[in-house]
Structure 1
Amino acid sequence: MSREKEEDLFSILGIYDEPEERRNVPESSGISSQSEHQAQSQAEGAYEMAQQSPGPWTWHGPIYQETSPGTPQQRVLQTPDGSDLQAGWLSEVEPEAAAEVDPSILPGPECGQPCPSPPPSEEVWSLLRATPPVPDEVVVRQRVPRKSWKVGKVRHGKNVYAIAVSGLTHHMYTCGRSYIKVWDESALHAFNKAPRAQLDFQDHQSRVLACKLLPDEQSLITGGLSRSLTLWDLAPTPRVRAQLASTGPVCYSLALSSNAQICLACFKGFVEIWDLQNQILIRRHEVPEYGSRCVDIAGNKFWTGGEDTRLYSWDLRSYQRVQEYHLQKEILSITHDPSEEWVLVGLRNSDTIVLHTHRREKFKAFNKYIVHHNLKFASCGSYFVTTRDESIYCLAVPSLQRLFQAKESADILCCDVSSDNQYLVTGSKKSATVYQLLY
């Protein structure tokens, strides 16, 4: 498999605040919105559309397939305090990189590549004029939150380095040094309520830095400052199911495959690949020493990044390095969308890099220097949350409309969104905050 090294230059396409007259219009799903747009514009613009390339970028996948509206011009995002918050995206396909790819597998017009075609015939024009628009009542629209409401705050007692919230039971798990606290749904709607349970570690110096709920939300895996990964059964009573002896002292990040059979644990200079079903270490995979702060897995690739500012992708079957991107700033977080087509990368300067897992498409958003950067895609795929130091931003995809923002009094160390898209939770110094998402 070919290896590529990318030195990326980025153009700008802006994140925006939706105009007031459109604020009450539901966010449409990609497929339905694309059909609606085509039905309304076919008769008057078919010839012009055939002669020009599509919009600047397109999200693909089962959840969204809508070309972003507007022109690829930079916009300025105004924060409540009046300061300018700039952000932008781009799509770029390098000619020399595209030349290496078999033309039979090159992306078509939907991926932003020009595709010359002859003008429509008179028969086609007649058909287009006769095509009625899609009625609003039959358009399936994907909901996105319009506001967030702070409904609760829990006192963990120590810094919350990792956090998870379930969509089935609405239980929250706050993780830090020497223990994990379990909170039920009533605590999510209260302030300073006692936890349902506290899971103490035998070694009080142990510290959880990463946690992941398994898809069934009946199990939790944790890693951190410890010589093992811990697999927890959560129901009916939380208990340790297994201790997976790791080969490194500190696990910085965890990632799960979509079927939860594979778990990746990121250590300094290597990644452990675990078979969770059989609780077997499959491989200890060497990566650059300063390129392993965070890890994620999407399909048959996994991605690593860290202080060396380089993002690497690896083939999960051959373990060969597939791609290398020089992003110029330290990588703080990596996550992927539910369709596993896009990987989001958070950088030290608050840039968010978006890469397609198969095609050579690249996007970028930018802001300012930060210390903490977290990214979380909602399970519905219609929006994602990014936290930057003490600020929270929620952005719709593919439109990049800013849905809402919030600010906390301390730096946010971690965040999660429940699988039913009802709750956003954040962890910070000694406490966790709960937001209910309002649609």
Structure 2
Amino acid sequence: MSEEKEEASFSILTIYDELEKRRSEPESPGLSSQPEQLGEVYGSPQPPPGSPRQSGPAYVDMSWESPPPWAPQILDSSDLQASWLPEAELGEDAESGFSSPPGSELGQPCPSPPPSEEVWSLLRTIPPVPDEAVVRRRAPRDSWKVGRLHHGKNVYAVAISSSTHHVYTCGHGYIRVWDESALHAWDQAPQAQLNLQDRQNCVLTCKLFPDEQSLITGGVSRTLTLWDLAPTPRVRAQLASTGPKCYSLAISSNAQICLACFKGFVEIWDLQNQILIRKHEVPVYGSRCVDLAGNQFWTGGEDTRLYAWDLRSYQRLQQHDLKHEILSITHDPSEEWLLVGLKMSEIIILHTHRKEKFKASLEKYIYHHNLKFSSCGNYFVSTLDQSIHCLAAPSLQRLFQAEESTDILCCDVSSDNQYLVTGSKNSAVYQLL
């Protein structure tokens, strides 16, 4: 076990708006750079979103599967090699012989021999792909408030299932189910209401399964509830927990493990067999939030310390003193980067394995701070009390900002990157543009 106590300060990142000019900003759109003191760059370079589309087979921007690092370097155009060459270039290379394959000039080994004339002939027969067929995952540039979901009571947890085309708002006594038509309305009734077995119970946290067809909820109840959402929502099972109030939930990417965070301990559940694996003790005031990334899970709370634990040995791996109360923890789709929301509205960015740590600082005292990463990994949403901020990753450019009339207690972004739903007494629905 190795324990890391926070001594050195975090590297500071700046949240900026599109119109702001930064001295280190490169000319190429889609590439960003941070001040030199952020340190060495890790990860593979990705083609910029603004690069020309190819006239040959479609170039698919898959950078969303592995989000770039938070301190990217400026790349020369020679480094940005496309997977396919235009048809005219194919002919030139075929006549002169294939030389200098992509990567060789950078000192990288070429794993396979050059394509034969027969392969080139086949590639020439492939017709050009229309521009509209090129698939790109882009961050939203703006939002449009299109509706409101009248839950009736405070919404403490919300989930958007693109798989079932429904939104689930959770609170005191019941869960309400909204279909897609309700997202574009201001006074539409919910499609269904799921009453809790004990109407005095309150759902404080919920997590969708990766397939988005199941949901687990926890809160002011000594049970965790598993819901099947399709074809119609119903209770699949109830897991008897050992604590009176569940503050936070986390699910592994394969939906086999669930973590439930209580005051002073975390329950580790086998979801497939619906059995409690372990009741793991954590600091009493360090268990408000929990998140799971790979073989580590992270906890934090009022004691201002972020703890990393090994899921196999249950030993403490890291400890970071963040100086302010931790209100939320989440990770990006690659499970490499961790975002931590603090009560001073600061956002802490940590690498889950490497000693890389950054901080985006905003001097503002808040009561509610929620973070939600998009499924594509190139942006995330941060809600601070009544404010909504959508930030690009890794540049931290503010894509858009919105204000609500009441405090936002939770939020979720649909996996198809179409909708943002906030949770308060009346949930606001934003369409991402």
TM-score (norm 2): 0.76
1:147 corresponds to which residue? 142
In 2, distance between residues paired with 1:294 and 1:374?
11
The CA deviation string for residues 311-330 of structure 1, in whole angstroms up to 9 with x for no partner, is: 00000000000000011110
Larger Rg: 2
CA contact (8 A) 1:33 1:66 kept: no
The CA deviation string for residues 203-226 of structure 1, in whole angstroms up to 9 with x for no partner, is: 111000000111111111000000
In 2, distance between residues paired with 1:140 and 1:154?
32
Q: Which moved more, 1:227-236 or 1:164-173?
A: 164-173
2:289 to 288, 291, 294: 294
**Offset at residue 195 of structure 1 (A):** 0.5
CA contact (8 A) 2:208 2:214 kept: yes
1:365 to 342, 360, 367: 360
1:379 corresponds to which residue? 375
2:404 to 405, 408, 419: 408
2:200 corresponds to which residue? 205
1:63 corresponds to which residue? 67
In 1, distance between residues paired with 2:164 and 2:397?
30
Q: Which runs of 5+ in 2 are unaligned?
A: 33-43, 52-62, 75-104, 107-130
Partner of 2:5, secondary structure, is strand
CA contact (8 A) 1:262 1:274 kept: yes
Partner of 2:353, secondary structure, is coil
**Offset at residue 65 of structure 1 (A):** 4.9
**Offset at residue 142 of structure 1 (A):** 3.8
2:187 corresponds to which residue? 192
Aligned-residue sequence identity (percent) comes to 73
1:56 corresponds to which residue? none
Partner of 1:399, secondary structure, is coil
Q: How does 1:172-187 map to 2 (within 5 A)?
A: 172-187=167-182
In 1, distance between residues paired with 2:45 and 2:165?
31
The CA deviation string for residues 41-100 of structure 1, in whole angstroms up to 9 with x for no partner, is: xxxxxxxxxxxxxxxxxx997233574469xxxxxxxxxxxxxxxxxxxxxxxxxxxxxx
The CA deviation string for residues 395-424 of structure 1, in whole angstroms up to 9 with x for no partner, is: 111111110000000000000001111110
Letter in structure 2 aligned against 1:7: E
Q: Provide the alpha-carbon RMSD of the alignment.
A: 2.6
The CA deviation string for residues 218-271 of structure 1, in whole angstroms up to 9 with x for no partner, is: 111000000100000111111100000000000000001111110000000000
Distance 1:376 1:28, change over 3 A: same
2:316 to 317, 321, 327: 321
1:214 corresponds to which residue? 209
1:132 corresponds to which residue? none
Distance 1:417 1:16, change over 3 A: same
Partner of 2:430, secondary structure, is strand
Partner of 2:255, secondary structure, is coil
Letter in structure 1 aligned against 2:177: V
In 1, distance between residues paired with 2:426 and 2:165?
18
In 2, distance between residues paired with 1:173 and 1:370?
26
Distance 1:283 1:405, change over 3 A: same
Letter in structure 1 aligned against 2:383: T
1:13 corresponds to which residue? 13
**Offset at residue 19 of structure 1 (A):** 3.4
CA contact (8 A) 1:34 1:67 kept: no
Letter in structure 1 aligned against 2:185: A
Letter in structure 1 aligned against 2:221: S
Q: How does 1:322-341 map to 2 (within 5 A)?
A: 322-341=317-336
Letter in structure 2 aligned against 1:164: A
2:233 corresponds to which residue? 238
Letter in structure 2 aligned against 1:178: G
Q: How does 1:51-200 map to 2 (within 5 A)?
A: 62-65=66-69, 67-68=71-72, 142-200=137-195
**Offset at residue 140 of structure 1 (A):** 8.0
In 2, distance between residues paired with 1:60 and 1:182?
30
Please state if 1:307 is matched with 2:302.
yes
1:391 corresponds to which residue? 387
CA contact (8 A) 1:7 1:327 kept: no
1:2 corresponds to which residue? 2
**Offset at residue 28 of structure 1 (A):** 6.5
Distance 1:60 1:379, change over 3 A: closer
